[in-house]
Structure 1
Amino acid sequence: MKRLAAGLLGLSFAGLSMAAPTACRYGVYGEIGKSPVAISNPTSNGADAPERYTFVDGRRGDVNGADGLVRCAEGAVSVRQADGNYVVQSRVALRETPTRFKSHGTELAGMLIEPAQAAGKPPLVVFVHGSEKTPGIGGYYPYVFAAEGLAVFAYDKRGTGASGGDYTQNFELLADDAAAALGRARKLADGRYSRAGFFGGSQGGWVAPRAAALAHADYVAVGFGLVMTPLEEDQQQVVLEMKEKGYDDASVAHAREVADAAGEVMASHFTGGYEQLAAAKRRYASEPWLHKVEGEFTGELIAEDESDLRRTGAPRYDNLNILWRYDAVAALRALDIPQLWVLAGEDREAPNAITQQRLIDLKRQGKPIDLYVFPRTDHGMYEFTQDADGTRHVTRITDGYFRLLADWIRQQDRPPYGAGRRLP
């Protein structure tokens, strides 16, 4: 899947616990309770890519970037104040314990981050990756959680950062890795935490619930994830694209037929489904929308010649071991622990109308699920501005999102959480 498979630069394990290229250590700066800022690894390609800053209220950007909000020079982090002056922020004391653990014979790199002086025993949360190839160690989520007073275990997904193995998007294997991560975290933090569970973002929403069942976790939280198959994700992206472009219901239904046909080829791992796809392309060959369809993979498959798909489709489009018919509903039915789902109200990459309905249905069946939706946000809980042609420009992570996650994990409820609303 084109967006899920986007690769980003990995960092060495040694560098993650030492200095970033700008000579400012990754970590939390400022005062707890006064919107501290997390300095984390880059999220873009290139050896000279700048580190990122992330405030607990969701403001984000490049350190020493054009917006000038956070600077780093000679090891000192400073933040621009309301009057335009910069004030140096002290690094918050955290206990960071690097470790290594094994899953299915592969050695993975992990890091336990704990408050240096905790009042009582904080909850322990294992951060589960999305589809990114950037390391989990040194990322912004673990440090933002630490800024909220949680104990956090971050690890590099197999095939990324300092972990061994090959990069994959096989949800069951990744869930085994996440369960092993929680096992290691529990041992490292033994006697110093209250409850232990998972947070998974995006693709982590497929992985974390499965891992929670395997590891007998106390809770699981998911941000902008889906309760559907990856095939349904592609289909729903196609439907949303068609609706946003103003096509009528009949055209939307026809485009969905094309997406379903492309999905059959993908789900067969390119061993079948070609006749159905060819028939759909012939049926709608004269439609102006046919070659404007994108989805997660449908647009790429319908643009290809069948002979090319048969020869090289699998290594090009299906080389990540994705379980295309993964039963996300069954994974949630297997859980009786508290779940939090936080969805982006205008998510283009992971349209969530079906997810919302399935979560509501599971809640009606007695599952302990809390469901929040933040309006005017896209995938990643990003607020945005939108041009007349529909192009979106990310501005920040929506305010209240991080605080909601931390409060829920702490078993607290202190609304309002920005514009987020809890669905009944």
Structure 2
Amino acid sequence: MARAALIAALLMATPTAAAESDCAQGAYRLSDGGVIDVAAASEGALRWRGLDGASGELKRDGDHWAGTTGWTGRPDGLTVRFDCAAKTMQFGERKGQQIAFETRETSFTSHGTQLVGRLVMPPGDGPVPIVVLLHGAEFSSARDSNSLQRMLPAAGIGAFVYDKRGTGASGDKYTQVFSLLADDAVAALAETRRMAGARGTRFGFQGPSQGGWIAPLAATRTQVDFLIVSFGLAVSVADEDREAIAFQMGLKGYGPDVIAKAQEIGAAATRVFESVVAGETIEGIDELDSVRTRYRNAPWYKDVHGNFTHVILDMTAEEIRAKAPAYAFGTPVHYDPMPTLRAVRVPQLWALGGQDIDAPAGETARRIKGLIAAGQPITLAVFPKAEHGMTEFETAPDGSRVSTRFTPGYFRLLIDYARGAPLASAYGDAEITRPAAKK
């Protein structure tokens, strides 16, 4: 939005609309038993999510909120009204009552840094399982953005959410040092146990994306009952980029010869990236310049993306050196997660997207199946139509993707696994590999 239009929109916004946007946020039990979570979205909009995976955006339209499908911006005909005083909503033809959770804010310390968290418990005083929600690589406050902090309690499961160091209200600087973040997760679990008291019956970590490296590390450093990894990886950061280049180029129709050349570029970018994130003297720029010069005019060059290669690819040597300090996150580029995964003994759930172009599932699924065959108590679910974030999507003529919904069965799978109950025979169209039968 242009700056002038943004200022005009702010001036035209009424205090009533802003207040309704704030008070509307929460989880609602619908008249038919379904659950809808409503959270803040961009520029005063709201986003709703259902446990079945359906999702859309809501924008103010006179005396109601009008819906659009997924993230497409296409009107879907949904009309929603909120009654803040009664804590109710009219969601199309269905009525909903906001669920009154027991919510407590807290702060705790890890390695001398104060971290800020929140425990959200289902109504009542009975014992429940509790999930400690970890993070991906995002810079935003998880307390503001992670909808699982309400969706899990709506299903009878407690949730502890916290701002990782360097984000939201937590202290210190942003980092991607996996070992340090794993220790933070251990501290978060200890605080969860303290706050939950007798209501906590079993405790687990859920690690999305980058959290898929951190959660297993944390599980080897504390007593935990289960572990969930969502769209994470059992390969290194460097291999993630290499596999992403191959998968993305394959989707665009390129053959093995072009993919091999694209991965040459990725390998050169990785050497530069490794020194950048380590905060060290930049190495490999001459090699990167050489391979860029060799392939720059090739028709496929514009399609080389990867996970981090694209960040560096369009920068000049001078730009890389100038911008390097902003990327010195300490990312362990060659961290091998397999020794840690072999050391984890508690039950694990791995939920992956078969169309994930950021963290391709192929090699990770193969490795997890190997651990299952070796006798580890792991359940693997690959949702064939899902991409990163477990959303399904439409593909535009230019190849870009627009998410339409969360893949069916994903939220239900997380809920059932956290409960510790026997899993259903099917979750959407997920291809499920279950733990080997004990002899």
Q: TM-score, normalised by structure 1?
A: 0.86
Report which of the two has the higher share of strand: 2
1:132 maps to 2:138: yes
Q: Please give the alpha-carbon distance, in whole angstroms, between the structure 2 residues aligned to 1:33 and 1:161.
A: 36
Report which of the two has the higher share of helix: 2
Q: Please give the alpha-carbon distance, in whole angstroms, between the structure 2 residues aligned to 1:251 and 1:129.
A: 35
Q: Please give the alpha-carbon distance, in whole angstroms, between the structure 1 residues aligned to 2:32 and 2:229.
A: 24
Q: Which amino acid aligns with 2:220?
A: A
Q: Please give the alpha-carbon distance, in whole angstroms, between the structure 2 residues aligned to 1:414 and 1:403.
A: 10
Q: Please give the alpha-carbon distance, in whole angstroms, between the structure 2 residues aligned to 1:326 and 1:50.
A: 39
Q: Please give the alpha-carbon distance, in whole angstroms, between the structure 1 residues aligned to 2:50 and 2:428.
A: 14
- Deviation of 1:371 after TM superposition, in Å, equals 0.2
Q: Secondary structure at the match of 1:185?
A: helix
Q: Please give the alpha-carbon distance, in whole angstroms, between the structure 1 residues aligned to 2:356 and 2:133.
A: 22
- Deviation of 1:330 after TM superposition, in Å, equals 2.2
Q: Please give the alpha-carbon distance, in whole angstroms, between the structure 1 residues aligned to 2:182 and 2:211.
A: 9
Q: Which amino acid aligns with 2:197?
A: D
Matches within 5 A, 1:192-207: 192-207=199-214
1:361 maps to 2:396: no
The one of 228, 236, 239 aligned to 1:229: 236
The one of 383, 393, 396 aligned to 1:384: 393
**1:323 corresponds to:** 332
- Deviation of 1:72 after TM superposition, in Å, equals 2.9
Q: Please give the alpha-carbon distance, in whole angstroms, between the structure 2 residues aligned to 1:132 and 1:298.
A: 18
- Deviation of 1:127 after TM superposition, in Å, equals 0.7
Evaluate the alpha carbon distance shift between residue 86 and residue 125 of structure 1 in structure 2; reply closer, same or farther with a 3 A threshold.
Answer: closer
Q: Secondary structure at the match of 2:240?
A: helix
Q: Please give the alpha-carbon distance, in whole angstroms, between the structure 2 residues aligned to 1:296 and 1:36.
A: 34
Q: Which amino acid aligns with 2:132?
A: V
Q: Which amino acid aligns with 1:38?
A: D
* Structure 1 residue runs without a partner (length 5+): 1-18
- Deviation of 1:331 after TM superposition, in Å, equals 2.2
- Aligned-residue Cα RMSD (Å) equals 2.3
Q: Please give the alpha-carbon distance, in whole angstroms, between the structure 2 residues aligned to 1:164 and 1:308.
A: 29
- Deviation of 1:52 after TM superposition, in Å, equals 2.4
Q: Please give the alpha-carbon distance, in whole angstroms, between the structure 1 residues aligned to 2:99 and 2:147.
A: 15
Q: Secondary structure at the match of 1:378?
A: coil
Q: Which amino acid aligns with 1:115?
A: P
1:402 maps to 2:401: no
How many aligned positions are there?
A: 395
- Deviation of 1:125 after TM superposition, in Å, equals 0.7
1:165 maps to 2:172: yes
The one of 81, 84, 88 aligned to 1:71: 81
Q: Please give the alpha-carbon distance, in whole angstroms, between the structure 2 residues aligned to 1:129 and 1:322.
A: 15
**1:314 corresponds to:** 324
Q: Which amino acid aligns with 2:128?
A: P
Alpha carbons 1:291, 1:302 under 8 Å: kept: no
Matches within 5 A, 1:5-404: 22-24=21-23, 26-30=25-29, 34-42=33-41, 44=42, 48-63=43-58, 64-67=65-68, 68=78, 70-75=80-85, 76-81=87-92, 85=93, 87=95, 89-117=96-124, 120-138=126-144, 139-269=146-276, 271-309=282-320, 311-316=321-326, 318-404=327-413
1:422 maps to 2:429: no
- Deviation of 1:209 after TM superposition, in Å, equals 1.2
Q: Secondary structure at the match of 1:123?
A: strand
Question: Alpha-carbon deviations, 1:241-284, whole Å to 9, x = none?
Answer: 21122122111111111111110111133532234323433443
Question: Alpha-carbon deviations, 1:131-173, whole Å to 9, x = none?
Answer: 2233222431111111111011111122222222222222222
- Percent identity, aligned pairs only, is 37
- Deviation of 1:198 after TM superposition, in Å, equals 0.5
- Deviation of 1:231 after TM superposition, in Å, equals 1.4
- Deviation of 1:21 after TM superposition, in Å, equals 5.9
Q: Secondary structure at the match of 1:419?
A: coil
Q: TM-score, normalised by structure 2?
A: 0.84
* Structure 2 residue runs without a partner (length 5+): 1-17, 59-64, 69-77, 435-439
Q: Secondary structure at the match of 2:143?
A: coil
Alpha carbons 2:32, 2:94 under 8 Å: kept: no
Alpha carbons 1:96, 1:113 under 8 Å: kept: yes
Segments of 4+ moved more than 6 angstroms: none
Q: Secondary structure at the match of 1:190?
A: helix
